[in-house]
Amino acid sequence: MAAALTSPLPVTADEDVPRRIVSRTSPGDAIFRAVLRASGLSVFLITGMILAFLILRGSWALRADGFSFFTKQSWLFVGNNFGIGGILPDGIIIAVIAMIIAVPVAVATAIFISEYAPDRLRRPLIAVIDLMAAIPSIIYGVWGRFFLVPRAIGTASWLSHHLSFLPAFRITIPVSPSTFVGSPVIAGMVVSLMAIPIITSLSRQVFSQAPQGEREGAYALGSTRWGMVRTVVLPFGRAGVTGAAMLGLGRAMGETIAVLLVITTIPTLNWHVLQSGGNSVAALIALNWNEATAHMLSALMAAGLALFAITLIVNSLAAVVINRSRSGAATAD
């Protein structure tokens, strides 16, 4: 002890080393922390198992069909002819249509809630958006099939007649009462209802983080409320809204039941979006489940793997976009 007291005080910067503080956790706490760590790591385990089992069960079909699994556009029992070359792009088309409808509506709603709504309306509106997210997708699907379809085919028919200079709006099948019924546009409309609450709630959080000083500066320079929103809030929230839109896209691509109830399923690519005929990988799996042979089951697993991979990539990109931005980092959950 005396030696320690007489040892020279550190004189140079290198000798001034921070004291290592060691605290020993009690055995009970060590077990507790280990249990918590195990449950945290279990999410890795679950995700890893999902990937592993899908690859395991789907690889048989992939080996049998080879790369043409991704390019062929057919799904037939006969001859084990399975290919998602048409189904995967069909699903992406529906998701993109859903985004075209959902993003403007969701951003407008988010701006309204965060900038324009009076204080006493804000909490009820946020509750309404949360409720919109909680409504089961089968309710939206049933509504879409029975309520929306009869009322929207008039508009679809008008668009196909008067805007037929756009190749996407042309009709290539004979016109009959069911030409417009199961189209990607109507499926996209129903799916957009499910994407709107996700985009709205995330965008609203992003917009509310816009710096108060910049807002007040805009007002001080004489701008109107919309001018302030356009110059301060929207540029600030650009990355956050992009990330939110990509999250909505991921949700739209994974939607199963609403698409299944509305669309007329075909195995080929249909980019005439106003006419009936479309598909999505999720709807394909749900539809063909019961009558699947072993080979088709493996093909369905492979298709599910492809879908999971795409939604993972889209969501990872969204996370990167959100976290790298000024607005996103503030709202990182």
Partner 1 sequence: MSGTGDAPRGPGQGSAVRSAPGQPATEVPLRIRQVTAEDRLTLGGAAIGSLGLIWVLYERVLPFSGAFGFWLCWYLGFLVLYAAAAGLQWRPLVVRDKLMAAAVGSGGVLATAVVLEQIGYSITRGLASVSHLNFFTESMAFASPTSSLRVGGIQHAAVGSLEQLGLATLFSVPLGVMAALFLAEVGGRMERPVRTIVNAMTALPSIVAGLFVYAFAVLTLGLPESGLAASLAVAVVMLPTVTRAAEVVLRVVPGTLREASYALGASQFRTVWNVILPTARSGLSTAVVLAMARGIGETAPVLLTAGFTANPNANPLHGWQATLPTFIFNMIENLGQYPNDVARGLGAGAVLMLIVLVLFTIARLLGGSAPGELTRRQQRQLRRAAAEWSR
Among 28, 79, 167, 174, binds partner 1 (CB under 8 A): 28
DSSP string spanning 51-85? HHHHHHHHHHHHHHHGGGGGT---EETGGGEE--T
Find the shortest distance in angstroms from Cβ 10 to partner 1.
31
For partner 1, the closer of residues 5 and 20 by Cβ is: 20
Q: Is 254 in the site for partner 1 (CB under 8 A)?
A: yes
Q: Is 134 in the site for partner 1 (CB under 8 A)?
A: yes
Among 76, 108, 163, 166, binds partner 1 (CB under 8 A): 108
CA 64-68-73 angle, 5° bins: 115
Q: Is 271 in the site for partner 1 (CB under 8 A)?
A: no
Q: How far apart are CA 263 and CA 331, in angstroms?
A: 37
Q: Is 147 in the site for partner 1 (CB under 8 A)?
A: yes
Residues 53-72 that bind partner 1 (CB under 8 A): 53-54, 56-57
HSE (CB half, 13 Å, CA atoms) of 85? 13
Among 94, 97, 229, 299, binds partner 1 (CB under 8 A): 229
Strand partners, 75: 82
Q: Is 175 in the site for partner 1 (CB under 8 A)?
A: no
Q: How far apart are CA 248 and CA 186, in angstroms?
A: 18
Q: How far apart are CA 282 and CA 257, in angstroms?
A: 8
> Which one of the spans 65-73, 75-83, 165-173, 211-219 is the region binding partner 1 (CB under 8 A)?
211-219
Q: Is 315 in the site for partner 1 (CB under 8 A)?
A: yes
Q: Is 257 in the site for partner 1 (CB under 8 A)?
A: yes
Enter the tokens of residue 136: 């089961």
Q: Is 225 in the site for partner 1 (CB under 8 A)?
A: yes
Among 300, 321, 325, 328, binds partner 1 (CB under 8 A): 300
Please, is 82 exposed, middle or buried when counting C-beta atoms within 10 Å of its C-beta (0-12, 13-18, 19+)? buried
Q: Is 1 in the site for partner 1 (CB under 8 A)?
A: no
> Which one of the spans 60-68, 81-89, 155-163, 236-244 is the region binding partner 1 (CB under 8 A)?
155-163
Smallest Cα–Cα separation from 274: which of 192, 143, 175? 175
Among 10, 76, 130, 163, binds partner 1 (CB under 8 A): 130
> Which one of the spans 34-42, 61-69, 73-81, 270-278 is the region binding partner 1 (CB under 8 A)?
34-42
CB of 265 closer than 8 Å to CB of 284: yes
Q: Is the dihedral of CA 288, 290, 292, 294 positive or negative?
A: positive
CB of 102 closer than 8 Å to CB of 195: yes
Q: Is 275 in the site for partner 1 (CB under 8 A)?
A: no
Smallest Cα–Cα separation from 281: which of 129, 112, 116, 86? 86
Q: Is 152 in the site for partner 1 (CB under 8 A)?
A: yes
Q: Is 153 in the site for partner 1 (CB under 8 A)?
A: yes
Among 170, 319, 326, 330, binds partner 1 (CB under 8 A): 319
